[in-house]
Structure 1
Amino acid sequence: MRAIDGPVPDRHSALLAAPVTATVPGEVHTDLLSAGVIPDPFDGDNESKLAWIGRSSWSYRTVFDWESDGHAMQELVAEGLDTAARVTLNGTELGRTWNQHRAYRFDVTSLLVAERNELVVEFASPVATANRLSEESGLWPHTNHHPYNAIRKMASNFGWDWGPDVATVGIWRPIRIESWSGVRIDSVRPLAGLDRDRGVLDSRIALAWQDGFTDDATVTVEVGGTTTEMTVPAGTPGAGVTSTIDAVDRWWPRGYGDQPLYDVQVSLQAGGQTDTWQGRVGFRTVTMNVAPDEHGGPFILSVNDRQIYVRGANWIPDDAFVTRLNRETYERSIRDAIDGGMNLLRVWGGGIYESDDFYDVCDELGVLVWQDFLFACAAYSEEEPLRSEVEAEARQAVTRLSQHASLALWNGNNENIWGYVEWGWRAPLGGRTWGEGYYFDLLPGIVAELDPRTPYSQGSPFSYDRYIHPNDERNGTMHIWDVWNQVDYSTYRSYKPRFVSEFGFQGPPAWSTLTSVVHDEPLDPYGEQMLVHQKAFEGNLKLERGLGEHLPKWKDIQDWHWTTQLNQARAVAYGIEHFRSLFPLNTGAIVWQLNDNWPVVSWAAVDGHGVRKPLWYALRRVYADRLLTVQPREDGPVVAAHNDTDVTWSTEVTVSRRSTGTGGEVLAGETFALEVPARSAVLNSLPASVATAGDPSAEYVEVRAADGSTAYWYFVEDTALQLAADAYTAEVVPTANGYDVVVTATALAKDLALFPDRLEPSARVDSCLITLNAGEKHTFHVTCCASAPAGPIGKPVLRSANELLT
């Protein structure tokens, strides 16, 4: 691999005079990093210093020997080229590619030689290519500073409001020579469904035939102990084989049942030639209900005719350099979702169609997948050459992913319909196309043809009626972004959304993650490198403004870090508790976002080094199967209980009004029986004796169920609340795989949090944001190290809301 054109800095030109060894699959950035040519792109302000990589053209070259195995056809299969490439074999151009999101296949039968063969893939600069295509076709409105909508490449690769601008180049998925004769399996779509208790597998098999081959083919499908065979006449482009499995075990999302998966093998025989395809399916049905009702129009996903309350998160590419991802990294991040109580991940439209590993893990662990087509926050031309590329990539994506039991929804785009309506696009477009034909015609047609078992949504947000604003809370899905951008998070309670598919609030990553890449001296929220790792417009100013009356402004950088992490967690939890209290009007929420793709201040619950932020622990609480929360209503506070399980929730609930001070005196209390049927919610008025405070600044309400569920209600914001400075003591106890920190409260200790990564970056803790009444204890379990920290443990490792206010 070597640079062939572009602004290579003098300090790198000597190192790049000779070729650099490339790893395939891989990317130029990762190869240059491995070779020691460049520093870590994520560190400090290296992102801008390395911008020349995306502005340069690159060439990949390899020499290989080839020996015929007797087959008549040889094809070069490139599963992923990023992005604008010219492919040559032995000096002959095979073709040019323009799309990161699809595979290409080239006939090389007449070009391969028995000995030395040279394959060269030349990549044009992605930045220059996007600029050129945009200038040639006319500017289409987009967010951010590169015209990513002019080229079929991962949009966020050009930078986003949480991600770095590291426009990559490379052979990012496998490339190989395939040899075959007669006929081969081109693709298989094993569409698994249900007919009462029977499983029905509709295997749709596309075949590629060698010119002049006249033998018929036999196709055999094996699944669940059933074998089905059919004869396919020579030259027939495809075959449909239906298999029926009696008494099939149904696939369910987590929390609703098990996830049985069935192996599928498709075999092809013709004229002595054979070919096979293998995969896995789960038998289930998925439906989407958006039919108008008395409140407007719902958004309801059902699996096997059972409504699912969605507790989800948006998913972005898990690393800015996606070739570093593998089965292990995907499973680790998906388990973050599961451990956080989630049952759905939305693969957002500015990223990629993920690797098979991602969907395999979701199949196995019961996580539903909402899959966006790859259009985000921009207008897109519907003319050539873009239209053909869009159709080709969509067909390949639907074909590849259609086998997965976890696939619950195809979604046309992210925010583009909303953008056309409200973001001032119509004047610069001047009547030109903007993507509407994709979302309302092309893409739903492809889904109906290739994956009719999976629902299709035109966009997110969308009201499922062209005459209703696409982000109307009364209909379909909505995004709530005035919170964070413009207004206080208490505004969440002004909405009664049917379904929220995006909302969120920012906070910094773990201290160890942040300081591994930000080296400002002194460290400051508005420091030069800090702002490199804050991509949102006025992001750290919004963090400051977002404290509102909830928390005081920080005294130092230590308090800035803890205060803004705490405020992020509280803001998102505030929204979700409100949404769940509206059930069944509200049918779910998908928080922005689960993960980060580098170390950054962002909306993520888990940071770029895999550390679970306080937000993650808040999500685990509010996304629990059973939730207690106190919510305001016109007639006073209510205890809202949402039971998202198959078993009736029967318990006794004690509500008490207590003093915040030393001793935590109980000032009033009552007990009532709570009975919540399966998959439902109830509201109970907070008793007047508890709901009315004698001194609002020194009292609070605790709601505690006999099964351990708790909720708290405060009469004033923390900035007006009397909290003791010395509300707890802590003891460190060594364990076999780390240490415990046992905290004992002497007064109300609010939102206790332990940050062991400050002592050892690899350390992890099991709990966070723990509120204790006077006399209560909590044990934080830390896993990491050979020995426990010596001496007492306190600020900045052990924090609470108390010391921010005293």
Structure 2
Amino acid sequence: MIKQGINDWQFKQQRDSIWRKAQVPGTVHTDLLEHNLINDPFFGEEEKNVQWVDKVDWVYKSTFNVDSELASQTCIDLIFNGLDTYATVYLNNQLILSSDNMFRTYKVNVKDWINIGENQLIIHFESPINHDVMRVISGGINYPADNDDSETGGLGDKKLSIFARKAPYHYGWDWGPRLVTSGIWKPVELVGYSDIHFDDIYIKQEQLSNEKADLVLEIELVAIKEMTGECVLQYGEQTEIKQVELKEGHNKVTLPFTVVNPKLWWSRGLGTPHRYDVKVAFRKDNETLLSDALKHGIRTVELVRDDDQYGKSFYLKLNGEPVFCKGANHIPNDSFVTRVTKSRYEHEIKSAVSANMNMLRVWGGGIYEDDIFYDLCDEHGILVWQDFMFACTMYPGDEPFLNNVEQEAVDQVKRLRQYASVVLWCGNNEIDAAWAEFVETGGWGWKQKYDALTREKLWADYQALFHDILDRVTKQYVPNEPYWPSSPLADLTRDANQHALGVKGAGDVHYWDVWHGKQPFEAYNENVGRFMSEYGFQSFPAIETVETFTTPDDYAIGSDVMLHHQKNGAGNQLIKTYMEKYLPESKDFTSFLYMSQVLQAQGIKNAIESHRRHKPYCMGTLYWQMNDCWPVASWSSMDYFGRWKALHYQAKESFRDIMLSIEEKDGQVNVYAISDVLNDVDVDIRVSVYSLDGELLYEEVSAFIIKANASQVVKNYIIDRLIGEYDKSQVVLVTELIKENQSIDQKRHYFIPTQALSLPLAKVSVARDKETFIITTDQFAKDIYLTTDCLGYFSANYFDLLPGEEKVVTFTKRDKNNEHLIDVQAVSMVDMIKI
């Protein structure tokens, strides 16, 4: 087999005569940006000035040479791994392909049209706007795609995103810009062969026990002619060989084998994410004609939905063990996905691991992620909840659209099923709850806009797509993995009990009454479902990030630029309103950015820890959202440049595998010990009360056994008895878990809101000790904020200190080769407030 990449691309607007160098993989926007033909769409309000790009056609071409060895192969496939989106492809003036799906892989045998020597490949990309705009008019249905920012796109109320099988967020979202791309977004390659070629390699799991794993190697291969040979499997240290007779054309070979005493793939926190090295080869007359290598993890996964006293459970079992899923929702890391490098993926996954997460949900309005993403999740034991790419609207149900989606699903499921980390497939984001077919007054008010016949059609189309096609594809290609038609969804009952309207005792929940519903943070404690797959609160990025899209004249949350980088309507004002309730007034713009992050962290801490305290009733908490696709005010815990916000540091504390959580309720404090590990743990629990000037007022230390994989109240105190005559505003409750003389968790609790705390003018000091930094303060300091001029993250940040305490932190650099000696600065909340 011979492979050759197609490189040296040029592009132009279709009506232009000037060809310019193009980067492939890439997009029209990034190529225009490289040639200074547009300004950076992320700066200021420049997004508005590039809306013309998606309304014209573009052409890409490559002139490449093919040598005689490749040209002589019996079969020469030209493979397009990703074309965005409406493209016609010509090879040496011969039309060879018309594509209409960003998420599909297209393969064309071009043997008859390839030349020895020079060849030319030309790809015409039709404007996705011009291609689809008539469908709204001719079809008579304007679909309810609320996040499609058609106004900014100059289309009025015409929502076009539903027609194109491309990333929905390209058309705008309530955290992202409208940048509707075109281009060659994945590699193009020639593959020539004269004997056989692997089309697909899959290791199917039949049975698993502690003693053995019964597996089946399934190979799809194409043979140019009839031949006899042997398939050779090297799985870890064992070798399996099967004699096969291949017919001309497509063949499927199965090779059953057993692994004795298998090492299992576990998620982070439960065990080692072991993967076996696998090599598959086809051999004829002792000559290896073809081979391929991959890694494989052995594991079982089950979505458990059992009736119980509360309703119906919703949790995952991994290798027979219940898993409390902790993590966040993932969106694409850039509006221009081809700019996302391996190092950016590594930073995201390592940030998830460092924050004690064990799951990321690949949300359905983005893309099926690059293989690098899933390989990193496999390597680090991060479970993946994988949405299909459908979100927040109804979709067409005509035969061409459904056939297109079915092939898309087959392509993506077959690509991603090799990854042990992918444990749950989900049809779409929020459509079932938004439409709410069986509750007339439920949902987002969509169905009331249509007449009875249209409503009937839209629901029938929905069921065909999400209850038929995607269900059937997953059952066929990943029979051992669960499929869930929509998130959120209460149950599959085909009546009013199906829809996740509010917090129910079944299914998964998107809880947005805090933020969209303007409810206080305390509402998180009372609204806990079986699996909290979305909830969130916004903050601004750090000033260093804001500086990348503003000038100092824009430094006000009500400025045009700051409002443009807030895609959720009145979001900036909503942050301010919540801040007035919970935090002291900030002294200036930079301080407001800091305070917004502290606010976000406090709110989501309430949510995460409430969810975990309710274990096993609740068995999952995934906040919205992990990351950003551009620099913006959003719900993310890590901004576009990968800077951790206060929330990400808080998530690290609230996601600890063994931790304490403090609940104040009805004049009492309940101290919970929560464990996600699979064995009991012997610890000491220290409960202390300090005055804010550092005086120890009360202390109790007791031995305790924390039960495996459970949540339990370990201490309970009546507040008035605990603090006695001391003023609530002047004391702090400190709880600590100690194992083998090492502190493994510490949680603090104040008996009044942060806003009411009297903050002294603390001086925070930083001392270096080789690779560590020792933080101290002369007075009580709240939410100490460490900064440095190097990209990376601290082991802890936004923490409180009493006088006499010290905090030892380390710093992880993004660039491991950066030997720059960093300088760490520290401030605290008192430095940020108006006095």
Structure 1 residues 130-279: aligned runs within 5 Å: 130-137=132-139, 138-144=141-147, 145-146=149-150, 147-181=160-194, 183-192=196-205, 194-196=207-209, 197-210=211-224, 213-215=225-227, 218-224=230-236, 225-234=238-247, 235=249, 237-268=251-282, 274-279=289-294
SS at match of 1:59: strand
Structure 1 residues 614-653: aligned runs within 5 Å: 614-633=646-665, 636-653=668-685
| Alignment-derived partner of residue 440 in structure 1 | 467
| Alignment-derived partner of residue 32 in structure 1 | 32
Mean Cα displacement is larger for which, 178-187 or 687-696?
687-696
Quote the Cα distance in structure 2 between the aligned partners of 1:373 and 1:320. Answer: 18
Q: Is 2:806 the counterpart of 1:777?
A: yes
CA apart distance, 1:550: 1.1
CA apart distance, 1:788: 6.8
CA apart distance, 1:626: 1.4
Check the 8 A contact 1:489/1:546 in 2, yes or no. Answer: no
Structure 1 residues 385-784: aligned runs within 5 Å: 385-421=400-436, 422-427=443-448, 428=450, 429-433=454-458, 434-466=461-493, 467=495, 468=497, 469-471=499-501, 472-486=503-517, 487-633=519-665, 636-660=668-692, 663-688=693-718, 689-690=721-722, 694-706=726-738, 707-708=742-743, 709-721=745-757, 723-726=758-761, 728-733=762-767, 740=773, 742-746=775-779, 748-756=780-788, 760=789, 762=791, 764-781=793-810
Mean Cα displacement is larger for which, 81-90 or 639-648?
639-648
Structure 1 residues 439, 230: closer, same or farther in 2, change over 3 A? farther
Structure 1 residues 683, 204: closer, same or farther in 2, change over 3 A? same
CA apart distance, 1:165: 1.5
Structure 1 residues 591, 544: closer, same or farther in 2, change over 3 A? same
Structure 1 residues 321, 654: closer, same or farther in 2, change over 3 A? same
Q: Is 2:105 the counterpart of 1:103?
A: yes
Per-residue CA deviation, residues 593-613 of structure 1 (Å, 9 max, x unaligned), is 111122111111111111111
Per-residue CA deviation, residues 539-595 of structure 1 (Å, 9 max, x unaligned), is 101111222521134332122111111001111111111111111111121111111
Q: Aligned-pair RMSD on alpha carbons?
A: 2.5
Quote the Cα distance in structure 1 between the aligned partners of 2:229 and 2:191. Answer: 20
Check the 8 A contact 1:230/1:241 in 2, yes or no. Answer: no
Per-residue CA deviation, residues 684-730 of structure 1 (Å, 9 max, x unaligned), is 34323216675333333222334432222222212223x2322x323
Per-residue CA deviation, residues 393-427 of structure 1 (Å, 9 max, x unaligned), is 10011111111111111111111111111122223
Structure 1 residues 270, 104: closer, same or farther in 2, change over 3 A? farther
Check the 8 A contact 1:80/1:101 in 2, yes or no. Answer: yes
CA apart distance, 1:139: 2.3
The letter for the 1-side match of 2:827 is L
Quote the Cα distance in structure 1 between the aligned partners of 2:367 and 2:406. Answer: 16
Mean Cα displacement is larger for which, 30-39 or 150-159?
30-39
The letter for the 2-side match of 1:483 is V
Check the 8 A contact 2:228/2:243 in 1, yes or no. Answer: no
Structure 1 residues 659, 95: closer, same or farther in 2, change over 3 A? same
The letter for the 2-side match of 1:430 is R
Percent same amino acid at aligned positions? 30
- The equivalent position to 2:827 in structure 1, one of 789, 798, 806, is 798
Mean Cα displacement is larger for which, 508-517 or 111-120?
111-120
Per-residue CA deviation, residues 640-674 of structure 1 (Å, 9 max, x unaligned), is 110222343333333334433xx344444444433
Quote the Cα distance in structure 2 between the aligned partners of 1:267 and 1:711. Answer: 55
Quote the Cα distance in structure 2 between the aligned partners of 1:651 and 1:279. Answer: 42
CA apart distance, 1:285: 0.8
Mean Cα displacement is larger for which, 685-694 or 169-178?
685-694
CA apart distance, 1:175: 0.8
CA apart distance, 1:222: 2.8
TM-score (norm 2): 0.88
CA apart distance, 1:373: 0.8
Quote the Cα distance in structure 1 between the aligned partners of 2:750 and 2:803. Answer: 16
Check the 8 A contact 2:776/2:804 in 1, yes or no. Answer: no
TM-score (norm 1): 0.92
The letter for the 1-side match of 2:41 is P
Structure 1 residues 233, 778: closer, same or farther in 2, change over 3 A? closer
Mean Cα displacement is larger for which, 181-190 or 267-276?
267-276
Check the 8 A contact 1:752/1:801 in 2, yes or no. Answer: no
The letter for the 1-side match of 2:776 is V
Per-residue CA deviation, residues 210-230 of structure 1 (Å, 9 max, x unaligned), is 5xx444564333323121314
Structure 1 residues 140, 208: closer, same or farther in 2, change over 3 A? farther
CA apart distance, 1:503: 1.0
Equivalent residues, number: 781
Quote the Cα distance in structure 2 between the aligned partners of 1:342 and 1:496. Answer: 19
Quote the Cα distance in structure 1 between the aligned partners of 2:355 and 2:467. Answer: 35
Quote the Cα distance in structure 2 between the aligned partners of 1:604 and 1:228. Answer: 50
Quote the Cα distance in structure 2 between the aligned partners of 1:725 and 1:522. Answer: 32
Check the 8 A contact 1:734/1:787 in 2, yes or no. Answer: no
Structure 1 residues 533, 634: closer, same or farther in 2, change over 3 A? same
Mean Cα displacement is larger for which, 664-673 or 492-501?
664-673
Per-residue CA deviation, residues 87-136 of structure 1 (Å, 9 max, x unaligned), is 11121211211100011112222222233322110001123334344444
SS at match of 1:482: coil
Check the 8 A contact 1:554/1:560 in 2, yes or no. Answer: yes
Q: Which ranges of structure 2 fall in alignment gaps of 5 or more residues?
A: 1-9, 151-159, 437-442
Structure 1 residues 631, 805: closer, same or farther in 2, change over 3 A? farther
- The equivalent position to 1:281 in structure 2, one of 276, 296, 301, is 296
Quote the Cα distance in structure 2 between the aligned partners of 1:240 and 1:134. Answer: 47
Quote the Cα distance in structure 1 between the aligned partners of 2:195 and 2:795. Answer: 58
SS at match of 1:521: helix
CA apart distance, 1:38: 2.7
Structure 1 residues 543, 233: closer, same or farther in 2, change over 3 A? same
Structure 1 residues 21, 674: closer, same or farther in 2, change over 3 A? same
